Amino acid sequence: QEGLGWVLSTAPRLPVPDSVLCMFRDQEEAETVVDDSSKHGGRLRTFPHERGNWATHVYVPYEAQEDFLDLLQLLLLRARASVPSLTAMAEFHISLSQGVILRHHWISPVVQSLKEHLASFPRFTCRADRVTIYTNDPKSRTFIGLEVTSGHSQLLELVSEVDRVMEEFSLPSFYKNPSFHLSLAWCVGNLSEELESCLQELQEIVNRFEDSSYLVRIPGAEVRCKSGKKIFSFPLR
C-alpha cells in the first residue's frame, strides 16, 4: 500500500479538456458577482444579483470621437461647479429597452429573436442636441443627457421590434412616450434641481461648440444587446 500511495502522489495530473471547462465557465461568471457598491462609485443595483441571472440591455451604440470628448469636458467643467460628484459615462448609447433579467438559458433564444426582428431594419441618423437632466426610477442616480431631437420616429420603430421580443419572453417592454437620449455623466442621489439651475448654460456650451451640429449626429448603423459581460451586435440594413 505504501508503494501504491507513492505512485498516486507523484503521478502527473492530466489536464482537464477545454470542452469540459467551457461547460462551467458561463455558469461561474454568472454566479460569482458580489454587489459591492464601493467598487462602482456608490451605485446600487436596480435589482439584486441572483445566481444564474444576467442583467440585459438593448441599445444603439455611439462611438465617441476626440472632439465629442472635448465637448463633454467643457460641460463637466461647468456642471461640476454645481455638482462636484459628477462622473463622465464610460461609454455612450441610446437605450432601446429597460434593463431586464435573463436566465442563462434564455440568452441564445432572445439574441436569435432580436436578430430576426432587426434583420430588415434600415440604417438611419438621429440628432441629440438638447441638454436634459434625468433621474432613474428609484431617484438614486441623476444624469446629464443629450435628448434626441430628430430620428425619434425611427427609434420608436426599433423599440417596437425590441418590445415584441421582450413580450415573447414575458419581459417588461420599454417606457411609454420615451425620451431617447445619450447619457453623458451621472452622480449618486437625486440632484436634478442643482443641475437644472445651470441647464441653460450647458445648452449654450453645446450650441457654441465648434462643429457641434456634426458631433451630435448619431449614426443608427447597428443595435447591440449586452447580457452580463457578453455583447451581441445586430447590423442594420
Question: Active site residue: 104, 105, 152, 181, which one?
Answer: 181
Assess contact for 128 and 184: CB atoms under 8 A.
no
CA distances from 209 to 71, 133, 156 (A): 7, 20, 29
| DSSP-assigned letter for residue 167 | H
Alpha helical stretches, state H, the chain: 2-10, 18-31, 66-79, 107-118, 152-168, 192-196, 199-208, 212-215
Question: Active site residue: 49, 57, 93, 104, which one?
Answer: 93
| DSSP-assigned letter for residue 38 | G
- Residue 93 designated active-site: yes
- Percentages helix, strand, coil for the chain, rounded to the nearest 5? 40, 30, 35
Cα torsion 229, 116, 152, 101 to 10°: value is: -40
Q: Report d(CA 165, CA 56) in Å as an integer.
A: 13
Active site residues per annotation? 93, 181
